[in-house]
């Protein structure tokens, strides 16, 4: 009888864990930036609901592109810290949630959301 009760309790706990939603680990919203492609075309890059707490190297402005991104706009619900170099190195600048942005003078290659 005790074994059956323990099994029922364990099964109930397992079902409860499966039914609970996972905690969000992403900044909700969009992060945008402008850049010039390797071919010389103006482009806009964006990250939709980017991960929180991990460095993101911005697509299009990696080592193959000598031009950095610029004019970042943070439309997520988290603080964005942009960096002048890849792998979240170099000088950094914080952008507030929802309305944070900077001019084309701010050059960016990576970002982390807090």
Where in the chain are the domains? Answer: 29-113
pTM given for the model: 0.77
Is 2:9 a contact under the CB 8 Å cutoff?
A: no
- Per residue in 8-47, pLDDT tens? 444 444 444 444 444 457 899 999 999 999 999 999 999 9
pLDDT level of residue 63 (50, 70, 90 thresholds): confident
Distance CA 99, CA 22 (A): 27
Of residues 80 and 21, the one with the higher pLDDT is: 80
Whether 60 shows a pLDDT value over 50: the answer reads yes
CA nearest 27: which of 57, 48, 58?
48
CATH 1.10.3720.10 is held by the domain 29-113 = no
Is 58:111 a contact under the CB 8 Å cutoff?
A: yes
Rounded to the nearest angstrom, the gap between the alpha carbon of residue 29 and the centroid of all alpha carbons in its chain is: 9
């Amino acid at each position: 009888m005790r074994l059956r009760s323990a099994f029922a309790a364990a099964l109930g706990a397992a079902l409860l864990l499966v039914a609970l939603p996972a905690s969000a680990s992403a900044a909700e919203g969009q992060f945008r930036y402008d850049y010039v492609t390797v071919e010389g075309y103006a482009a806009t890059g964006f990250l939709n609901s980017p991960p929180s707490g991990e460095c993101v190297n911005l697509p299009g402005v990696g080592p193959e592109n000598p031009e950095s991104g610029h004019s970042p706009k943070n439309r997520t619900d988290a603080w964005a810290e942009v960096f002048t170099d890849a792998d979240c190195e170099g000088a950094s600048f914080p952008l507030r949630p929802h309305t944070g942005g900077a001019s084309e003078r701010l050059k960016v290659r990576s970002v982390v959301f807090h």
